Amino acid sequence: MAELILDSVSQSYGTRQIIADLSFSLPEGAIGCLLGPSGCGKTTALRCISGFEPIQTGEIRIGGEVVSLPDWMLAAEKRRVGMVFQDYALFPHMTVSANVGFGLRSESKAARQARIDELLILVGLSGHADQFPHQLSGGQQQRVALARALAPRPRLILMDEPFSNLDVELRERLSLEVRDILKREATTALIVTHDQNEAFALADWVGVMHEGRIQQWDTPYNLYHKPTNRFVADFVGQGALVTGNVINDHQVEIELGVLNGVIPVECGAAGCGECVRSCHVDVLLRPDDIIHDDDSLMLAEVENKAFRGAEFLYTLKLPSGQRALSLVPSHHNHAIGERIGIKLAVDHVVAFRRE
Ligand code: ADP
Ligand code: MG
């Protein structure tokens, strides 16, 4: 239970830089998530934090204590950091109870048993204490792994793609359960995943990573609604970019009409404090920014559609040929090729300087 701070951390394998200038701070008791595509350096970042990998620049602090510097690192076993892996890594020949108690060997028998009992209740596996890992489902095994990591009351829990071996439905449920367990133990935790739904379900703070760098460290809400660059806009959530021209400091015109927003702040181009009249931008439209309205005179052609149960996700071709997405209640079942009425419902403009 301690805060985690990374300050300008870089790491290389040989001459190849894997993570660059990584900085973020995770408050005590908060759940953070590093979200990014495969190969972007998430596992490497966790290995640096856990003390298995040296760093070349910057520093890492846990609970105010410096644990990594370029020429020095505190040994992994002295960091009081708990790890949970993708493949659970339980001891197959030990019972659930023995697995959970593994890190508590130095405690008295009574204290150890009390902590095991408490954790098995916390993760909902009280009835499974004497079973072996192979007798449990994947989701149950992962909860044992979490209980084992929590048992010695580490300052920080690190989890590397903890749900990726589980099927999609279970993944979402378990993300919420794990969030609940971590919050009840008031544990600071950093979780790594490539799955946005998992990150959003679990984390208070999410860092979107790309090629070894954090692109944006923010709340899930802000990542979706206020992405600071194109990579984040594209990686988080669905949407499409359409061309626009800035009219003045709070209005931008796209082919569907004029949008009101705080353009200078949102443009995000390096060195651009103020988009000016006729500045060319790309405007992000999310699927809920365009609503279907049979009475609207503004028309777009249905180019594709995906049934989502309660809604259709339509891919629309706008008059200019640009594409946009729209989420439409599924009783509006329109055919591909049909032209349907649409309306803008943008309450927050996100624009990027056109390259
Ligand atoms: P992620 O977890 O985001 O998928 P990793 O941190 O595992 O990414 O890997 C980032 C990059 O570092 C990859 O290109 C990978 O090939 C490389 N890499 C990882 N481990 C090593 C290693 N021990 N030696 C050399 N390169 C490595
Ligand atoms: Mg990885």
Query: 163-212, pLDDT tens digit by residue?
Result: 988 888 888 889 999 999 999 999 999 999 999 999 999 999 999 999 99
pLDDT class for 276, splitting at 50, 70, 90? Answer: low
Amino acid identity at 122:
L
Strand 81-84, strand 156-160: pairing:
parallel
Q: Nearest-CA neighbor of 269 among 279, 254, 277?
A: 279
Whose C-alpha lies nearest to ligand 1, atom 16?
A: 39
The confidence score (pLDDT) of residue 236 equals 92
Question: Which residue has 């709340």 as its token pair?
Answer: 219
For 120-154, write each residue's pLDDT tens digit.
999 999 999 999 999 999 999 999 999 999 999 99
Contact 92, 99 (CB under 8 A): no
pLDDT of 271 higher than 60: no
Instruction: Judge contact between 267 and 319, C-beta under 8 A.
Output: no
Per residue in 9-21, pLDDT (tens digit) is: 999 999 999 999 9
CA of 148 to the centre of ligand 1 (A): 27
Among residues 252, 316, 314, 321, the alpha carbon closest in space to that of 283 is found at: 252
268, pLDDT greater than 90: no
| Residue nearest atom 26 of ligand 1, based on CA coordinates | 13
Return the number of other C-beta atoms located less than 10 Å from residue 36's C-beta.
Answer: 25
Confidence class of residue 302 from pLDDT cuts 50, 70 and 90? Answer: very high
Rounded to whole angstroms, the Cα distance separating 69 from 7 reads 10
User: How many angstroms separate the alpha carbon of residue 17 from the centre of ligand 1?
Assistant: 10
Q: How far is the CA of 192 from the centre of ligand 2 (A)?
A: 8
Amino acid 275: pLDDT: 61
Ligand nearest to the CA of 11: 1
Rg value, the chain, Cα: 24
